[in-house]
Amino acid sequence: MAGPTGGGDSLGAALNQLLRAQVTPRHRMATYNAKHWHAQLNQLTGTHRGYQALEEAGLDVTAKTLLNWLSDPGYTVRRGYRHLIHSAYENVAIVPADPIPDHIRKGQYEISGWVTTGTDRRERGTPDANPLRIDGERGHWDEIEELWLVGELTDDEFEDHFIDDVIVEDIGEGTDGWAFDGDNYSVELR
């Protein structure tokens, strides 16, 4: 039975597509797109989480001041307060990524596409050649997860770390390192 699959024009793109289909990445909530401090404050004061973010950002004003600000968009608010409101707004707007689950870390990966090590270049996962099989459980996922959690796991970063921290840990360096120099990859998680 086939497991989750990711595809893309690079190994990193295929891995990222697979991961994003399994867990929620760090992202900005679409409803948080206000630019003016007043609109941001209005949205923040509409939820408990928003009030909490204002408090965590260091906004310490009286209820009367807050009501004055909310009732008049033209009210003069010091730059420092506007900065705190914006900071709180940005913190609430970002939804943290889910951690990478064990089934991803411990999964068996089947990689299809061009694989090169030294002078040996072959297309894997065709009717004539098995996919490259990698045991994810032998890998070191810490750096991959760190990048994932802060929203900086690009396709290139994922590919580089997957090669160094997962493939090499499972089957070694190869003849002269690993290269995935094709333009169409599929990764299946089993």
Torsions phi, psi of 132, nearest 5?
A: -75, 125
Residue 1 has a pLDDT of 57
Residue 106 · residue 128 · CB < 8 Å: no
**What gap in Å lies between CA 40 and CA 34, rounded to an integer?**
6
Task: Give the span between the Cα atoms of 135 and 173, in whole angstroms.
Answer: 15
What is the dihedral sign for C-alpha 75, 77, 82, 84? negative
Q: Write out the two tokens for 30.
A: 């679409």
Q: Mean pLDDT of successive 10-residue segments in the chain (190 residues)?
A: 89 98 92 92 92 93 90 88 94 93 97 95 95 97 97 97 97 90 97
| Residue 72, pLDDT score | 87
The DSSP line for 112-159 is EEEEEETTEEEEESBTTBPPEEEEGGGS--HHHHHHHHTT---HHHHH
